Structure 1
C-alpha cells in the first residue's frame, strides 16, 4: 500500500485502520484527528520536506547525534553530527545503519491477537477487558509491566503514570534491571542519589584510566575514540579475566580470577591505607572511613594474591599506580561489574578508592559507570518503577504529595513503597500471584537469565501483552495480544546518555501500517481504560517534557532551566542538573558533579560502604569444570539482535552462528579442533556452538557472546541482594 505523506492522507489512513468505537471518548477522537502529534505525522516542525535535521542515536548510552537528510518528508540517509560534544563527528557501525533497520520485512504493522491481525479498537478493548478482569478476580497487583531502556523519557513518564496511577498496579520494572541496577543502587547508597559524576571529557583528561569489567573498544567504540584522543600519554589499565580487545591495546592488563574483583579492590585499598597514600581533604567530606580501615586489615596482598590470580608485586604496583597523588585517575565499569551477585559492593569498592585518593569531582577522575542502553538513564529517573517519578521516593510522604500536586492525581493512588523488581515479578508469576504481564520494547524470552525459566512462567500467565517494533522477537511470538510500536526515527522525545546529557530524538520516518508511537499507544489505552483524565494534560511528547521539568524541580536532576527541545538542539544537549537559576547563561558543554565536595546524603557527605565477599553461587566442579563468561561480541551486534539482525551490512560483520572462545590448550586436551561444533552444557541446558581457539581466554574459562538466543539457557539465576541485578558473568559448564 502507498504511504501518504500529507497530513490529510495520514488522517485518512488512521481513520481507515481505526474506526471509532462506542467506548471511544472525545480525547481518542482528538488523537485520531491529529495523528502527527503521536507518531504518525509529518516531518519535524519547521522543516521543509527536503532538508536536514538531527537526532540522538537510539542504540547505546553514548548518545551520539546524527545528522539526517530528508527527501519528500522521509529520511534517506544520515551522517554523524560534527559539532556535537559527545561523538565529535564519529559514529559506530550501528549508528550508520540506524535507518536501515527500520525497513525490515518483519516490522509490525497491525495489532495481533493470538498471531492474527486485528484493528486498534479491538486491541484496545482486549487489553482493557482482559487486564481488568484479572484485577477484578485477583486484585490490582495481579497485573505487572516490564519496560526497557529503549523508549523516550516522555514515553516512560506516560507509561509509568498510566500503569501505576491509572491501572493501579504496584509492580513494574525495566530491563535496565539487567544492566544498570547495580550502579543505581551503588550511587544512591554512597552519594544519596543516582548521580554518575563524570563527563566524557574525562576520557581525554585522565592520566590513568582503569577499565574494570568493561570493553569499550567493542561495547562503546565512540567512548573508546575519546580515550584515543587523550594527549596526556595516559596509562590504560584493564582489569578483566579475558584479554579483551580493549585489554590488547591497554598499557596493562590485569587478568584476575573471575569474580575476585571485590577482593582485588579491597586489597588495593589496604595497600593505599597502609602506605598513607590518601587525600585528607577528600576524606573530610566522607563518613565511615575509620570502620573501612578496620575492615581492610584482612586484605593484605600476601593473603589475597592467590585468590586474585596475581602476585603480591603486581598488586602492590597497581595500588601505587591508582593512588599516585600527582596523577588524575578515573575508573570506568560496565556489565562485568554490574552483572554480578555482589556487584553493588564491587561498584562501591571503586567509589571508595576514588574517595580516599581524592579522584572525584575533578577533571580526569571519578568512579564512572558507563550505561548500557540509549535511555537507561531516562528509565532510572522517569519510568516510575523503582523510583517515584523524577528520582523521588515512594516511601517519602512529601515526595508523594509533590507528585500528586504536579500531576493532578489523587495522592491515595500513589503507592508508598516500590513494587517488585524484575526477578521478583518473574517469581510472583511462577507462584501464581501475578496473572497478567505487559512487556514494552524488550525481549526477555531471549535475554532473561536462565532463559528457560521465562518460557516456563509464560505458561502460568492468563494474559501476555507485548508492545514492540517487531512481531518476530522470541517474546512477541508468545503474546496473546501484540501492539505494533514505532521505533527510533519514527517519534519525538528525549534520551539521557551516560554522562547525564539530555538529547532530542526526532521523527524522520513514518511508522509502517498501523504502528503507533509508544506515547500514543499509552494515551489510547488510558483513554479506553477510563479514570485517567489527568493524562490528558500532556497530549504530545513536548508537553510531557514540561511535566518532566516540573517533577525534577528541587531534585539533584533538576532540569527546569531547559525551556524546550529547541534549546537542547541549539546547546548540543544539556547535562543535568540545569535548574532554572542557571538559565541566565548557556550551559557549559561538559560538566561534572561533586566539584564542591557536596553529596546528596542527609549529612552532605559520601559514605564508605563495604562487605566481605560472598561465596560463588555456582562454583566449578568435576562434572562442570569450566567457568563460562559472557559479554558483547562485536560493535556491530546489539543485545538480542532485534534490530542489528535486520541489517545486511551489520550481519556481515559478525559470525552468523554462535561461537565459543576456548583456550587452545583446553581444546586440544579435549580433542576439539578449531571451528569444530561443540556442546556446552550447564546444570540448566545444553547448546551447540563453533569452537574458536582463543588464547585471549584463560585456561579453565570459556566465553560466549550474549547476542545469540541460546546463550542464556546456560546462565545461572543468582542476584545481587541490594540491586536484584542478575549475575550473567559466571556459571559452571562443561564442553564436549
Structure 2
C-alpha cells in the first residue's frame, strides 16, 4: 500500500497559516476529604487560556475543525479577550477552501443556550432531578455500576458512545470502560451510520481504509452516487464536485429525485432496495462489454471468476423492469462508467442504513477494482462518513475493535496493546462486544442492567424508537453524559453528567478522507460542565484505577499514546509531530508513519492503494458477492406505502439537539415534521400541501404535515430523520454482517388526520 509522494520539509510553514493553540480551562471542583482536588482534573502546564495566554488578550484568530459532519471543514475563529466572538470559513484549509455550510456558520451560536446541562443531576425518589456536586455525581456513578456488577456480573453493565467527541476522549473512554471498569460490552452510535462501510472495507481491502481524498471530487470524469445526496448531507463536498473542470458525468442511483439527482446527467430512479440487484446488473454488463482491467484484476484481486459467474444471473433486461428503470438508460450508465478514465463511486446512508448494505457497498468496490479505478486521482469506491469523528470512533473507541483497529480475539493484538499501555493483558477482553442492537436486546432479556450513554441520543435516534425508550426505562441505572439537559435520552436518566461541547475543549477529529484535524478550546463551558476527557479522569480516580491512567494527563498526552498504538498499523500516525504540526499543515491524513516523516512533510491530498497493494497478507483485494435477500417488510394492502428516511435540509443535523438551538438555523427548515408525498397519491386522498396526515406502521403512529412533491415516486413517501416522529415508525431490522439498522425502508399507511373523529385526532397528536 502506498500514498502519494510527499514534499521535503524545509522548515517553512505550509499554505495553512499557523494558528494559536488554546487549552482546557481550569475548573474548580468541590473537594472530598482532600481526595478530589482541583488539580485532579487540570492538565499539567495549564494556566488560564493556554500556552501563551497573553497572546490571546488582543484580537487574534485561530483555526479549528468544525464539529458537525465528517467533512471536517476548517473554521477561522475570531478571538477577543481570550474568547471566540465569531467565525468565518478558513480560506486556506485544504478541506473546504473558504466555504462553510449554515451549520458551520452557527457552530458558536448553539453553545449559548439555556438548555445546556450546567451541573450534575441525580433523579430523586420523587422522580425529579436535583443538582449535586461532582463529588456526589462521581460517587453515585461508581456505586451504581459497581453494585450492579457485584450482583449480576461485569457483563451486566454496558456503554454506548458516539462519533462526536475527539479521538483522545474516545480512546480514554474505551480504555477506561474495558480495561479499568471491566465492562465487556460497549458500542458507538457510529453503528447507526458507518458500520456497513467499515465491514465492507475490512472484508474487501483487509482493513477499514477509505481510499480517497477530497481532491478526487474535482479530478473524476465520472462520479456515481448511490444512496447519497451530498448537496444536502455534505454540501461542502458537493461544492468540490461543482469545482470539477472535467465536465464530468454525474450518475445518481436513488429512489427520490434528490437535489443531487436534479443536477445529475443520469438519475436512475430505482425502486427502494433494488440497488444491489442493479449494481450486479451493471457489473455483469461491464464484463460483457469488455470494460474489465484484466491486468489489474489478475495482479491485485481475488475472486473474479466467482464474481463473473454470480453477476451473470443479473442481465440488465431482466433486472431493469424489476427495479423500475429503463434498460436503455442502464446501458448508457454502463458506457459512461466503462469509458471513463477516472471513475469514482460514492455512497452514504442510503447504502449503509440497509439490511443489504455491506454487500451493496462491496458491489461498488467490485466495480472500482475490476475497472482499475482505484489508487489514481479521481477514482475509488468511497464511503462518505456521517459524523464529525465517526472515523475516530472506528479506529479509537475500543468498542467493536481493539484500539488502533485491532481485534479483541487476537492474542497478539491484545499483547501489543497491553505492552504499549503497560497493563496486564488479562485486563483486555478476549471476546468481542455485543453490537448496539444486541446491547438493547440484552436489556430486554434482563442481562444488561446498567448503561452509560455518552454524547448520543438513542431515545430519539434508535430505530423503532418506542421500543428503545421502553428499554431505557427498564434499566436499573442509566447515566447520560451530554451537553444539553433537554436531549431526549436525558429524560430517562438516573444520573446526568454535564459535558462541554465543540469549542469548549481540545483534541482531534478524523474526517472522511482520513484527515486528523484539531478541535480547540475557544470558549468556557457553562456552569460546572466539564470536558468529557476530564469526566473520564474523575471516574478513573473514583473507580480506583487512576494510577492506570497516570500518563493520560491531557488530550495531547493521549494523542502520543495513540501514536504508539498506531505504529506499524495501516492507520500509523507515529510520524506526526504533535498537535502543532497538525495545526500548521491544515490537518494530516493517515497514514503518516515515522518512516514517512524522514525530512518530508505530508502532502495535503493523499490516496491509498496507488501501488495496488492491499492489506491482506497476499496484498490482494477481495471481490465479494452474495445472494439477494427479500425485503423484510414490503408494502401491502394494510400498509401500502414505502417509507424512506434521510436528511431533510442542509440546516438540520441528526436529532437537532444542537441545530434547534440556533434561531437562524430554525428559520431555514420546517420546525414541525413533514412528509413528502407524490401528487397522484395526494390527489387520491384529497390531500393538499400543509394538510395534517396520520402515518402508521406496525410499530406506532405519527403525525406530519403533507408536502406534495413529484420528487418521490408514487407509492413512496419520505420523512426527514431529524424529527422524533420518524423513528416511531421505522422497523428494527439489520444488516447481518455489519449489524447496522435499516432505517430506509418500512411499510406505512397514510390518511388525512381529519378522517378520524376529533377525540382520536387529539390523542394522536
The answer to whether the 8 A contact 1:67-1:78 is kept is yes
Aligned counterpart, 1:446: 460
Task: Output the CA distance in 1 between the equivalents of 2:713 and 2:213.
Answer: 34
Matched, 1:21 2:32: yes
SS at match of 2:78: strand
Q: Secondary structure at the match of 1:76?
A: strand
Q: Any conservation in 2 of the 1:198–1:499 contact (CA below 8 Å)?
A: yes
Preserved CA contact (<8 Å) 2:41 2:537: no
Give how far 1:44 is off. Answer: 6.2
Find the aligned partners of 1:262 and 1:280 in 2 and give their Cα distance.
23
The alignment status of 1:184 with 2:195, answered yes or no, reads: no
Q: 683, 697, 722: which one pairs with 1:707?
A: 722
After alignment, is 222-231 or 529-538 more displaced?
529-538
1:574 is displaced (CA, Å) by: 0.5
The yes-or-no answer on 1:298 pairing with 2:307 is: no
- Cα offset, 1:312, TM superposition: 2.1
Partner of 2:296: 282
Partner of 2:49: 42
2:93 aligned to 84, 88, 91, which one?
Answer: 84
Query: Quick check: 1:719–1:727 contact (8 Å CA) kept in 2?
Result: yes
Q: Select which of 175, 182, 185 maps to 1:161.
A: 175
Once the two structures are superposed, what CA deviation does each residue of 1:228-277 show, in whole Å capped at 9, x if it has no partner? 00000101111100000111111111101100000000000111112221
Residue 696 (structure 2) pairs with residue 685 (structure 1): no
How much has 1:23 moved relative to structure 2? 8.1
1:415 pairs, out of 425, 429, 436, with 429
1:327 is displaced (CA, Å) by 2.1
Residue matched to 2:530? 516
Aligned to 1:4: none
Distance 1:375-1:33 versus aligned 2 partners, 3 A rule: closer
Q: For 1:581 and 1:327, how far apart are their aligned partners in 2?
A: 33
For 2:63, which of 51, 54, 66 is the aligned residue? 54
Secondary structure of the structure 2 residue equivalent to 1:581: coil
Residue 399 of structure 1 pairs with residue 410 of structure 2 = no
CA distance in 2, matches of 1:197, 1:99: 32
- Please state how far the C-alpha of 1:292 moved relative to its aligned partner: 1.0
Q: Structure 1 stretches of 5 or more lacking a match?
A: 1-6
SS in 1 for 2:225: strand
Q: 2:332 aligns with which of 310, 317, 332?
A: 317
Q: Which residue of 2 aligns with 1:642?
A: 657
- Following TM superposition, by how much is the alpha carbon of 1:30 offset from its aligned partner in structure 2, in angstroms? 2.6
Counterpart residue number, 2:757: none
CA distance in 1, matches of 2:34, 2:361: 51
Counterparts of 1:137 and 1:178, CA distance in 2:
31
User: Could you list the per-position Cα deviations for residues 182-208 of structure 1 after superposition, in whole angstroms to 9, with x for gaps in the alignment?
Assistant: 000000000000000000000000000
Contact conserved, 1:43 with 1:49, CA < 8 A, in 2?
no
Aligned to 2:115: 106
1:302 is displaced (CA, Å) by: 2.0
Tell whether the 8 Å contact from 2:443 to 2:474 is kept in structure 1 after alignment: yes
Paired with 1:187 and 1:32, the residues of 2 have a C-alpha distance of 39
TM-score normalised to structure 1 length:
0.96
1:311, distance to aligned residue in structure 2 (A): 2.2
Give the Cα separation in 2 of the matches to 1:23 and 1:42.
26
Alpha-carbon distance in structure 1 between the residues aligned to 2:285 and 2:434: 40
**SS in structure 1 at match of 2:443:** helix
Contact 2:473 2:492 in 1 (8 A): no
Q: Distance in 2 between matches of 1:639 and 1:477?
A: 18
Within 5 Å, which residues of 2 pair with 1:421-500?
421-500=435-514
Is the Cα–Cα contact under 8 Å of residues 320 and 327 in structure 2 kept in the other structure? yes
TM-aligned CA distance change 1:267 to 1:531, over 3 Å: same
Q: Is the 8 A contact 1:618 1:731 kept in 2?
A: yes
Distance 2:309 2:103 in 1: 48
Q: Number of matched residues?
A: 720
Q: C-alpha displacement at 1:708, in angstroms?
A: 0.6
Q: Distance in 2 between matches of 1:353 and 1:89?
A: 34
Which of 252, 276, 289 pairs up with 1:262?
276
Is 2:105 aligned against 1:96?
yes
Structure 2 match to 1:589: 604
Q: Residues of 2 paired with 1:391 and 1:658: CA distance? A: 39
Greater mean alpha carbon deviation, residues 204-213 or residues 267-276 = 267-276
Residue range with higher mean Cα deviation, 65-74 or 718-727: 65-74
Look up the match of 2:562: 548
Q: Secondary structure at the match of 1:525?
A: helix
Say if 2:41 and 2:534, in contact at 8 Å, map to a contact too.
no
Q: Which residue of 2 aligns with 1:610?
A: 625
Alpha-carbon distance in 2 for matches of 1:262, 1:187: 17
Distance in 2 between residues matched to 1:297 and 1:420, nearest whole Å: 37
The superposition leaves residues 677-723 of structure 1 with CA deviations (integer Å, 9 ceiling, x where unpaired) of 01111111111111011100000000001101111010001100000
Pairing of 1:571-586 with structure 2 (within 5 A)? 571-583=585-597, 584-586=599-601
CA contact (8 A) 1:44 1:507 kept: no
Among residues 69, 76, 83, which one is paired with 1:67 in the alignment?
Answer: 76
* Aligned mates of 2:34, 2:304 — CA distance in 1: 62
| Structure 2: stretches of 5+ with no match in the other structure | 1-21, 124-128, 752-765
The reply on whether 1:628 has 2:636 as its aligned counterpart is: no
Alignment of 1:380-395 (within 5 A): 380-395=394-409
Instruction: Give 1:332's match in structure 2, choosing from 346, 349, 361.
Output: 346
Report the CA distance between 1:572 and its aligned residue. Answer: 1.3
Secondary structure at the counterpart of residue 474 of structure 2:
coil
| 1:136 correspondence with 2:150 | yes
Matched, 1:570 2:574: no
TM-superposed deviation, 1:281? 2.2
Answer with 247-256 or 305-314: which moved more: 305-314
CA distance in 1, matches of 2:434, 2:258: 35
Task: State the match for 2:18 in structure 1.
Answer: none
Give the Cα–Cα distance (whole angstroms) in 2 for the partners of residues 547 and 669 of structure 1: 63
1:274-321 per-position Cα deviation (integer Å, ceiling 9, x unaligned): 222100122020001111111112111122112211122222221121
Alpha-carbon shift at residue 608 of structure 1 (Å): 0.7
Equivalent residues of 2:280, 2:311 under 8 A apart: yes
Q: By how many angstroms is 1:35 displaced? A: 8.9
Matches within 5 A, 1:3-14: 14=27
SS in 1 for 2:64: strand
Tell me the equivalent position of 2:738.
Answer: 723
Q: Is the Cα–Cα contact under 8 Å of residues 537 and 546 in structure 2 kept in the other structure?
A: no
Alignment deviations for residues 638-684 of structure 1 (CA, whole Å, 9 cap, x no partner): 00000000000000000111111000110000111221001111111
Residues 162 and 532 in structure 1, CA contact (< 8 A), matched pair in contact too: no
Asked if structure 2 preserves the Cα contact closer than 8 Å seen for 1:23 and 1:528, the reply is no
Distance 1:652 1:35 in 2: 44
SS of equivalent residue, structure 2 residue 550? helix
The secondary structure found in structure 2 opposite 1:298 is: coil
SS at match of 1:534: helix
Alpha-carbon displacement from aligned partner over 1:48-101 (angstroms, at most 9, x marks no partner): 223211110000000000111111111100011110110001000000000000
> C-alpha deviations, 1:589-611, integer Å up to 9, x for none?
10000000000012210001111
- After superposition, the Cα gap between the structure-2 partners of 1:171 and 1:654, relative to the gap in structure 1 and judged at 3 Å, is same
